[in-house]
Amino acid sequence: MYFMSVGGTGMGNAAILMRSLGHEVIGADQAVYPPMSEALAAAGIEPLPGYDAERLARLAPDVVVVGNVNARGNPEVEWLLETRAVPVVSLPELLRTEVLRKRRNVVVCGTHGKTTTTSLCAHLLEAAGCGPGWFIGGVPQGLPGGAAAGRAGGPFVIEGDEYDSAFFDKRSKFVHYAPDILVLNNLEFDHADIFRDLADIARSFSHVIRLVPRNGCILANGDDPALAALVDVPWTEVLRVGTGEGNDLRITKYTEDAAGARFALEWRGRRWTEVCWPQWGLFNARNAAMAALAAARAAGCAEPADFDVSALARFSGVKRRQEVLYDDGRLALVSDFAHHPTAVAGTLEGLRARFPGREVVACFEARSNTACRKVHEAAFAEAFALADRVHFGGVFRPERYSEADRIDFAAMAAMIGPRATSHGSNGRLGETVEADLREDAARVVCFFSNGSFDGVIARTVDRALKQPENVGGGFQK
């Protein structure tokens, strides 16, 4: 199997999964960076550099798996279409035919929290001895990798992305995933490059909802009004999860501090369990509640109380989700994948609880197709205003967007006020942040990016790690 764009989290984890199933796997990409580069190396997969039609012809694979970032004009794509020498499949089609058609599947969907909720569900099922398989669009820190086949016949947990499948298949990936248990975390407007508005995304969600069988179930965020009408369906069981009175599974008694969060789960008015865990934010508590109920159902428990969720206390998170890269007790450097205003706000609120008494500094690189557009400009400004200081860097490949359509960091900084600065590039942002860190002040700096931030994160952490004599005092002057 030959994977185009094998460095992406989805494609890379699929390559690792197929290798574990006994296939010979090779792949190529223009750039691969951590954490996926590390995961591929651990699996013995070394990506070939760039795309080369002549090289692909010499390799003569049995099948080519095309990532949804690959488009017409790519030399390998053009060769495949012209010669028809090798069968071509999309990533979701590969997963459906090779894995999902044989399993009872938990498909986790939603605008936010998919990766964490999928990781949590797999973690709970693994701890319960259910032999699950999983496919996660990230790198969970408490599991042996982002993808695993699991035991034959065991449940399979997969992150259900609403983005399109391939340049030749514009359906959302999750319509390929054969859900038995469908988790709907939330629904907001995103992916402005392929969806017109919220109604357009909701239409795609309605397609996967129609695939849930009568003996399956839908777990929906009962606090999200955008999901209410979508899940009013007669053909399968619908269970609602949230903080409100009308939910089947309720999150109550939520508190958090520097040690983590505590909350209770109540199933239809009766206590299920108390959770004390090293994660922060009510949004993560909701992810945990969704995952716990999904895992209980996947394990065959009619009553949630019959399923042990004590393993939540041992959940160590996902890389690049509030991931602490450095902390000397005074200065903390954090990486977070958030690239939507709601996710940014949730992360900043969690950091306040996790690092009480420290100044919160937010650094943002616009990289996703939606984040680079104006569509969420005002909402981003409102979310980043929750930080004490804000640094805006660059827009990834700004030439893709007209000036009228491109996000305007200078305008956003003006909305927030003097606490915010638009630097115009990631390099200048990095220089300013490093200079600021020479101050003897207690602070947490969070880098928000779903990409590499042009190396700024790695350079800042490396500089901090080279200052062991200065523990507790930030960078040396």
pTM of the full structure? 0.88
Q: Is 210 helix (H, G, I), strand (E, B) or coil?
A: coil
Per-domain residue ranges of the chain = 2-90, 99-314, 323-470
pLDDT digits (tens, 9 = 90+) for 58-72: 999 999 999 999 999
Quote the distance between the C-alpha of residue 86 and its chain's center: 32
Average pLDDT over residues 394-404: 91
323-470, CATH topology level: Protein-Tyrosine Phosphatase; Chain A (3.90.190)
Average pLDDT over residues 342-347: 91
Looking at domain 99-314, its CATH superfamily turns out to be Mur-like, catalytic domain (3.40.1190.10)
Report, at the CATH architecture level, how domain 2-90 is classified. Answer: 3-Layer(aba) Sandwich (3.40)
Q: What are phi and psi of 310, to 5 degrees?
A: -60, -20
Long-range pairs, 219-224, Cβ under 8 A, ≥24: 219/181, 219/182, 219/183, 219/184, 219/290, 219/293, 219/294, 219/297, 220/184, 221/110, 221/184, 221/185, 221/186, 221/286, 221/290, 222/246, 222/247, 222/248, 223/247, 223/286, 224/186, 224/187
Per-residue model confidence (pLDDT) at position 195: 87
Q: Are 105 and 92 in contact (CB under 8 A)?
A: no
pLDDT digits (tens, 9 = 90+) for 99-138: 999 899 999 999 989 999 999 999 999 999 999 999 998 8
Per-residue model confidence (pLDDT) at position 33: 80
Q: Are 273 and 293 in contact (CB under 8 A)?
A: no
Per-residue model confidence (pLDDT) at position 476: 44
DSSP 78-103: HHHHHH--S-EEEHHHHHHHHTGGGS
